[in-house]
Amino acid sequence: MKGNFDYTTTARSFAMRFPVLSYVLIQINFWVAAFILLITVNHFNTLSLANSFKLEAPFHYTPMFWSAVIIGVLYGTLLGILDWQLDKSTRRISLGILIVTRSLAYFLVLVLLFAMLRYVLWEGYLLKYVYPEWSTILNDTSWDYALIMIGTFALVMSPVISFINQMNKKFGPGVLLPLLFGKYRQPVEEQRTFMFLDMKSSTAHAETLGHLRYSALVKDCFLDINRVLVKYKGEIYQYVGDEMVIDWLKTPDFQPSLVLDFFFDCQNRFKLRQPYYQDQYGLLPEFKAGVHFGMVTAVEVGSIKREIAYHGDTLNTAARIQSVCREYGVSLLISDSVVNLGLPDRYQVTFLDTLALKGKEKPTSLYSVVPVKA
């Protein structure tokens, strides 16, 4: 975690650029390790029994090791693709149905791979060319017991990988390992850019639509914003009602233009989706945002419910900037701290005013930002 390399940012950037590959690699790493653990425990158990009954151990560790690696890679690849597809296409399915669907799919994949291991890899290659002397050792009953053992093991280990996936969804990719190693047990100082993104006219929309349809509107908006955010390396810190708090860690390759590009790309996506929103809700959602850059402390908080919390004046300032967007009649306000990071010429940055914040001696300069028309 030292130097210029930041594991969390790198992992999140990779997951955003290659979402399918990220799903696959998580599953592959887990199941290769899990199956190696299984055959290792089984190997030493076999040695123990062979020694107790004065028998020669019937299996060597090396072929079993490579079989575990191969089946782990194949199983992990198929499950990673399956998980990605299920997460993409079952967002509106209840959790119970999703669990049953996923469990049945996992079982079918396991049976398929076991059949491939037995009839293609083992009998078609290993037994014929590598270990022909084993032809009298393994029979149908042996394979049946192996299927029961592997199936039971996979059934027990599936909740573990499900927990890992849920932690990745809760905290975002690249956070679980730092949490396990205690990175955020003590406060850590980080430089981050925060954007407070809030729906315009939310009160009027809620009154017009009613609570249920308004909640559905917020859900649809957040899904669209999430799809845009994938390209811009941001992290979702919190959802607060109809507001999202998004942040970007300052790293050597951080570009402040990503923050602005993200906001205006969101606007473009909502315009492209206008027919859908007009048909479903009779309106086109619009958002306003305040952006500020500065130092924060990150720390793991809570006992019953744990999360990584950011503390510091940076968040308060960003929230306050967002709250005055309406007063200045603009959708996006940024502070001088963001301007000082350096912004590309494709944006017109205009000074508006200075904002005196409670508890701060130095006022914050506010700037509006709009894309330069070609």
10-residue averages of pLDDT along the chain (374 residues): 56 74 90 92 84 70 83 89 77 64 78 81 69 67 83 82 74 70 80 96 93 94 91 87 92 88 96 96 96 93 77 92 92 95 93 81 89 79
Its domain, for residue 254, covers: 184-371
The answer to whether 57 and 50 are in contact (CB under 8 A) is yes
For residue 319, being part of any structural domain is answered with: yes
For residue 1, being part of any structural domain is answered with: no
For residue 177, being part of any structural domain is answered with: no
- Please state whether 139 falls in left (phi above 0), alpha (psi between -120 and 50) or beta: beta
Same domain, 144 and 190: no
Same domain, 232 and 348: yes
The angle at the Cα of 137, spanning 132 to 138, to the nearest 5 degrees, equals: 95
Same domain, 154 and 289: no
Token digits of residue 293: 């850059």
Same domain, 52 and 156: yes
- Cβ burial 323-339 (10 Å sphere, 16+ → b, else e): ebbeeeebbbbbbbbbb
Same domain, 52 and 20: yes
For residue 178, being part of any structural domain is answered with: no
Q: Residue 252's pLDDT is what? A: 79
Give tens-digit pLDDT for 245-293.
999 988 877 889 999 999 999 999 999 999 999 999 999 999 999 999 9
For residue 14, being part of any structural domain is answered with: yes
Q: Residue 105's pLDDT is what? A: 79
Token digits of residue 39: 């055959």
Q: CA nearest 224: which of 272, 258, 170, 275?
A: 272
Same domain, 258 and 141: no
Between strands 332-335 and 364-371, the pairing is antiparallel
Same domain, 235 and 344: yes
- The answer for residues whose C-beta is within 8 angstroms of residue 180's C-beta and 6 or more apart is none
CATH number of the CATH domain containing 226: 3.30.70.1230
For residue 295, being part of any structural domain is answered with: yes
Q: Residue 291's pLDDT is what? A: 97
The answer to whether 72 and 24 are in contact (CB under 8 A) is no
* Partners of residue 300 on adjacent β-strands: 308
Quote the number of domains for the chain.
2
Q: Residue 48's pLDDT is what? A: 85
- The answer for residues whose C-beta is within 8 angstroms of residue 120's C-beta and 6 or more apart is none
Q: CA nearest 103: which of 170, 166, 151, 172?
A: 151
Same domain, 116 and 217: no
Same domain, 69 and 163: yes
Q: Residue 3's pLDDT is what? A: 42
d(CA 246, CA 90): 25
- The three-class DSSP label of residue 2 is coil
Between strands 287-301 and 332-335, the pairing is parallel
Q: CA nearest 109: which of 157, 71, 161?
A: 71
Same domain, 107 and 32: yes
Q: Residue 359's pLDDT is what? A: 65
* Partners of residue 189 on adjacent β-strands: 297
Same domain, 236 and 357: yes
Domain boundary among 171, 192, 216: 171
Q: CA nearest 286: which of 312, 264, 305?
A: 264
Same domain, 218 and 109: no
For residue 138, being part of any structural domain is answered with: yes
Domain boundary among 146, 171, 196: 171
The answer to whether 39 and 93 are in contact (CB under 8 A) is no
The answer to whether 30 and 76 are in contact (CB under 8 A) is yes
Read off the pTM. Answer: 0.71
For residue 179, being part of any structural domain is answered with: no
